[in-house]
Structures are given as structure tokens and as C-alpha cells.
Amino acid sequence: MNMKDIFTKALEEPLKNELSEPQIASLIEHPKHEAHGDLAFPCFQLAKSMKKPPHMIAQELSEVVASQEIEKAVAAGPYVNVFFKRRKISAGILEEILRKGAEYGSNTTGEKGNTVFDFSSPNIAKPFSMGHLRSTIIGQALANIAEKNGFNCVRINHLGDWGTQFGKLMCAYTRWGAEDDVRKCPIPTLMKYYVDFHEKAENDPSLLEEGRAWFKKLELGDGEATKLWKWFRDESLKEFERVYDLLGIRFDHVQGESFYNDKMTPVVAELTEKGLLTKSEGAYVVETGPGKPPCLITKTDGTTLYATRDLAAAVYRKTTFDFAKSVYVVGAEQQLHFDQIKNVLRKMGREWEKDMVHVPFGLILKDGKKMSTRKGKIILLEDVLKDAISQAEENIALKNPALENKAATAREVGVGAVVFHDLKNERMNSVEFSLEQMLTFEGETGPYVQYTNVRARSILTKARAEGTPQEGLEDDASWAVVKELHEFPDVVRRAWQTYEPSVIARYLLSLASAFNKYYGKVKILENDDCLGDRLSVVASVSIVLQEGLRLLGIKAPRQM
């Protein structure tokens, strides 16, 4: 029972000569103060066509707006404000949530179209750092939200497992590396070699040439280069899996850049055949327009680049999955790269490039600066997650030492704190790394939302019932919660339309706040005629909180 739809329908007849139904719906808003009504319609836009001042139009509309669900409509200056029949609306909303359960808020916008998500994509032979947290959890949340909006999702981890950097690493390993050291402590040791390489290359540029030569050998299938590459890759995947397991992240396909080795030749051949390749200083490029940098396809030594592999990946994914959308959750600094890829595909006649979407995000900063793997300035994500879990264990030992399944709960709460701390921020905002803030469990945090759900479940356990909406509720405290619950389907749509998980996170904080105020004001378990309705509010809040947390990739513990 969507209140916005009800109000739109009520305005449709009196405004049939002025605005369409979608136009009316787009103008409806929430009053700044709850006392002014449940929804408001501004009349400014009608002044010119109706040749009347907005306040007069509002007055006239307030006298003709009618619906079985609307209690009254009043003019407030240039606005028409409506108050709904609380009992009728609340009973309908709560009945819908309890009937649908976790399906509440789902819609069929996607019409089961395939949507490919390219996210996380760490580089092999390097630690899984905090720098990869954002792509990983934003990508997972957006895939969950897309499914809620009716899409079939294909989750792909496009590993950085090819390129000149592996030639540099092979150069470093063969020059001063030790097999025993790598086997004892694989990723930190390989990382040290990589950092050492760049430090030494500043004084010895010949190392850069040697690194490029090693990558050339790898691309040509050289046995020694291939053996080293596979070893580095296997060790990296073991480390990555530990982190993904902690985060609860899953992929349908792990297809690194190397997966497209045999798929690049047809792309380069097509570019050549269509006369799109231009030789530039020994390399081959595709011009992308006046004043724009060209897209580099092959280097002077014939080796391929990130762009070549991304072109091959795009063609493969369209052919394999016939995607309705292909979403790349990659940092904002890659905007030019994706503009170039789409430009080249457009020149190739691939009209579906318009369905490729780059979802950028800001950085995680340390002391206001970007973390640099090359310079060794990184913070390991696994360490942060373990610190968060440890902090959660301390909190449980202090506040609820008798809790069963302490370790599992601490993991859910600790990891949830890290994930929520990131996702509550708009994705384009850079986030300053602060372990202290990340592990604060009070205030606007994941554990606050998780605990609110635990509180709701505890009430239902005490009542030994989920509740059934009967007459509905009309008191202010109940109505505030019901209105928040009513917003969830719209929040789900908006989060997908804007590719913005923070819309879900901020909503959960708002719902949790409304419920905790309700808990403080109302004697929920009082045995009177409204007990069933109040318990249905509690059960509905728990359903929506759990589903909202799931969309963000966060667990909802039963106890804390």
C-alpha cells in the first residue's frame, strides 16, 4: 500500500489537464515537519499554466483531493499536505511485510536481465590491502541490490594477474629472491621484492627494461616465466580466499586478465581490419577524438595492455552472458580508461557499449594520502578485520559473557562494523582510514543496527509470538516506525538507480533510530487489544533490518 501512489491517484483527476501521473509523482515530497502532514504536493509549477498564485491552487486542490485512505488534505501556503488514515494504512503495510517476509521491497524492474558485476579485482603477488575494500564490498552490495530489483547477477573477480608488473617481479625474484623465503611467507616476501625493485630501478633504469623483457617472455609462453607466474598466482589466491571468507564475499567466476590472453588477438585483428589502429612512436593506438588521449592497444615490443584485455573481456562477456548491464566497480581514477574502452567499442560498432556502466568511488586515505603498494605504504585488510573481530570479542566478554557462540557473533559484529563504516558513506567520498572510528560500536554503526534487530527479536521471544496486524495503530510513535517501514521498497529502487549502497545504510540507521524511540515510549508487551499490532511492528522492523543488512553484505546475529 504505497502512500505516494495513493496521493498521486488522488491528484490525477483534478490535474488531468496540467500534469501526467509520472509528473505528479515526481513532485510529491515529505514535509519538513511531521506535524505538517505525511506527504506534500508543491503547486509552484502549476502557477503559469493555471494563471493563479500557488497558494490559491493549493487551497482549491485541498478541497477536492479525496481517497478512502486519506484522512484530510490541507493547504499550507503553496503546498497541499495530506494526512493518511493511520489505522488503515498501518494495518495494510504491516500485513504486507509479514506476508512477504524477506521478499518485501523486491521488484521486477530488471525483468530477469543478466547484469555482470566486475569488482574487487586485487593484483596477485600483492597483499589484499584496505585499498581493495571499497571495490569489494560496494560491488557485492550493488549485486545484492540488483537482484532485489529483479536482475540476474553474474559476479566476476577480474584479478590483476597479467601485465608488466609481473615481469618486474620475476626480474626481482630471479636477481635477489630466495625460494625458501617465498615458501615460508609468500605474499609479504613477494611484496618486498616488488618494493625493492622500484627503489633499485630509480638508480638503475636497466631493471625496467629487464622487467619488460620478462613480461614479453611470459606473453610468449616461456616455461620458466609461466612457472613463476603460476606459483605467484596460486599463493595469492590462497590469501585472497581467507579475506573473502571473512567478508562473506562470493563470485560466480574468477577470471583474471590472463583469462583473456587467447581472446585479444581477434579484437586486435578486428581493429586492424576496420582501419582503427594507428601507429604512434612504435606502438599501436586507437584515436578517441580531438584533444583526447589515444587508447594504447599494443606497446612497441608487441605486448598487450590493460585496455586490450578489457576490450576482449567486454566482448567475451556480451557474447557469453548477453548482459542487460555490465557494471564495473572501479575507482574514480579509472574514469578516462573506461571512457576510452567505451569509445573504442563504439568505433567497432558495438552498440551495447552504452549498457556498460563504470561505478566509481573515492579512495581510502591514510593521513590524507592514497595508500601506495609500490612504496609499501599499505594497511592489510585481513589485519583490520581481525582487529575488529578481536574488539567485538572484548565487548562481548565485558557486556554479555554468558553469550553462546561468542566467536561466531564476534566475527559477524566485527566484520559488520568495518563494512558498514564504509558503506554508510556516499561512494564518491574518500574515506580517511581510522581504525578507532571503524571499531566504534556506538552511534551510527553497523553494530548499532545489528543490536536494534537483536532487541526486536528479544521482544518477540518474550512474547512468544510474531504478532498479527488487526485494527492497525494510530499513535505517533507507531506511525513514525510504520512510515519508515513503508519507505523500504522505494529505498531499494533508489539505491539501484543511483548505484549507491549508502542509501540502504542511511535508511537502516533511520529505521533503527525510529524503532529505538518507539521502544522507549511504548509499552510493547502490555496485554491489551493492540498487542498483536505492536508485535507486528516489531516483527516487521526485524524483517526489514535483517534484509537491509543482507543487501549490504552484513550478517544479523540473533544475540549480541
Cβ atoms of 107 and 492 within 8 Å: the answer is yes
Tell me: domain 381-552, CATH 1.10.730.10, correct? yes
Average pLDDT over residues 87-106: 96
Q: How far is CA 52 from CA 12, 26, 57, 60, 64, in A?
A: 19, 21, 7, 11, 17
| pLDDT tens digit sequence for 467-491 | 777 788 999 999 999 999 999 999 9
- The torsion angles phi and psi of 112, rounded to 5 degrees, stand at 65, 20
- The torsion angles phi and psi of 538, rounded to 5 degrees, stand at -60, -45
Output the pLDDT for position 202.
Answer: 92
Average pLDDT over residues 16-20: 93
Q: Is 553 left (phi over 0), alpha (psi -120 to 50) or beta?
A: left
Output the pLDDT for position 443.
Answer: 86
Average pLDDT over residues 42-59: 95
Over 90: is that where the pLDDT of 340 sits?
yes
Write the burial class of residue 4 (CB in 10 Å: 0-12 exposed, 13-18 middle, 19+ buried). middle
d(CA 354, CA 345) in angstroms, rounded, equals 10
Percent of the chain predicted with pLDDT > 70 = 99
Over 80: is that where the pLDDT of 370 sits?
no
The amino acid occupying position 495 is A
Output the pLDDT for position 300.
Answer: 85
Nearest-5° Cα angle at 203, 201 to 209: 40
Q: Which residue has the higher pLDDT, 541 or 368?
A: 541
Cβ atoms of 104 and 142 within 8 Å: the answer is no
| pLDDT tens digit sequence for 215-254 | 999 989 999 999 999 999 999 999 899 999 999 999 999 9
Over 80: is that where the pLDDT of 439 sits?
no
| Local confidence band at 374 (pLDDT 50, 70, 90 cut-offs) | low
| Set of cell numbers at residue 120 | 574487487
State the average pLDDT for the chain. 93
Over 90: is that where the pLDDT of 41 sits?
yes
Q: Considering the entire predicted model, what is its pTM?
A: 0.92
Rg over alpha carbons for the chain, rounded to the nearest Å, is 28
Q: Does this chain's domain 3-84 share its CATH topology with 381-552?
A: no
Nearest to 56 by CA among 44, 39, 68: 44
Over 70: is that where the pLDDT of 375 sits?
no
Torsion over CA: 249, 251, 254, 257 (sign): negative
Output the pLDDT for position 373.
Answer: 55
| pLDDT tens digit sequence for 190-218 | 989 999 999 999 999 999 999 999 999 99
| Local confidence band at 377 (pLDDT 50, 70, 90 cut-offs) | low
SS3 content of the chain, % helix, strand, coil (to 5): 60, 10, 30
Output the pLDDT for position 1.
Answer: 63
Over 90: is that where the pLDDT of 119 sits?
yes
Over 60: is that where the pLDDT of 125 sits?
yes
Torsion over CA: 327, 330, 332, 333 (sign): negative
| pLDDT tens digit sequence for 407-423 | 999 999 999 999 999 99
| Local confidence band at 296 (pLDDT 50, 70, 90 cut-offs) | very high
d(CA 141, CA 361) in angstroms, rounded, equals 14
Beta strands in 249-316 (DSSP E): 253-254, 277-280, 283-286, 295-298
Percent of the chain predicted with pLDDT > 90 = 82
Q: What is the CATH number of domain 3-84?
A: 3.30.1360.70
Over 70: is that where the pLDDT of 118 sits?
yes
d(CA 427, CA 478) in angstroms, rounded, equals 33
